[in-house]
Chains A and B, each alone.
Chain A
């Protein structure tokens, strides 16, 4: 992993078109500014982790349809 030291208001360029700037530093919080083309998606890492965990939980849970039902909507077609 590349590790760079930057001060407030300094920037990093990634792949010619993504600009990462240190907007503010307060205590243990660092405020980042990210300027990138609209097709570059930026998310907090935790969001990815959450969805990944949810997908794994969904997979683990989906062995049986016994508990699947929506009131007024579910029709059981049986086998």
Chain B
């Protein structure tokens, strides 16, 4: 089907790229239907609301820059998106790209997407070490020097 996107205008997507968020995204609860597709700049993704074109988030798989990420989210937290195993889920961070200043990832509020049910949820990590603004490039550089 063809959808309207904030980043690229009209875009053709497949059915299995449609992701339903039963509770929306925090602060955007009224938007539940999204599409997930590759950004032109890999390895980023766009999560685009199908209800409101201006609502779109840049996502990054957390494992790309933090393979040690353990947000402490349990299967119990993922019941509403039908997860039977944590392995069913892809784990993304929402990325902020300010006009000036570093690009950051929100590791406190990761987005889990169940590949099997095609449903998603923004979870809240109970771990204090994860914040909403992790400097992605800095943390990647630090990990290379470790």
Binding site for B on A (CB under 8 A): 38-39, 41, 43, 47-48, 50-59, 61-65, 67-71, 73-79
Complex Cα distance, B64 from A38, in Å, reads 31
CB-CB < 8 A to A67: which residues of B? Answer: 97, 103
CB-CB < 8 A to A52: which residues of B? Answer: 26-27
CB-CB < 8 A to A50: which residues of B? Answer: 108, 131-132
B97→A71 contact, CB < 8 A = no
A-B contact count (CB 8 A): 110
CB-CB < 8 A to A48: which residues of B? Answer: 26, 124
With A62-B58, A68-B39, A71-B137 given, name 13 new contacts (CB 8 A): A39-B76, A39-B79, A48-B124, A50-B108, A50-B132, A51-B26, A53-B132, A54-B96, A55-B26, A55-B122, A57-B96, A58-B96, A62-B57
Given contacts A67-B103, A73-B43, A74-B42, contact A61 B76 (CB under 8 A): no
Please report which residues of chain B, range 1-33, place their CB below 8 angstroms from some CB of chain A when the two chains form the complex. 6-7, 25-28
Q: Measured between C-beta atoms, what is the minimum distance from B137 to chain A in Å? A: 7
Q: Across the interface, name the chain A residue whose C-beta is closest to B39.
A: A65
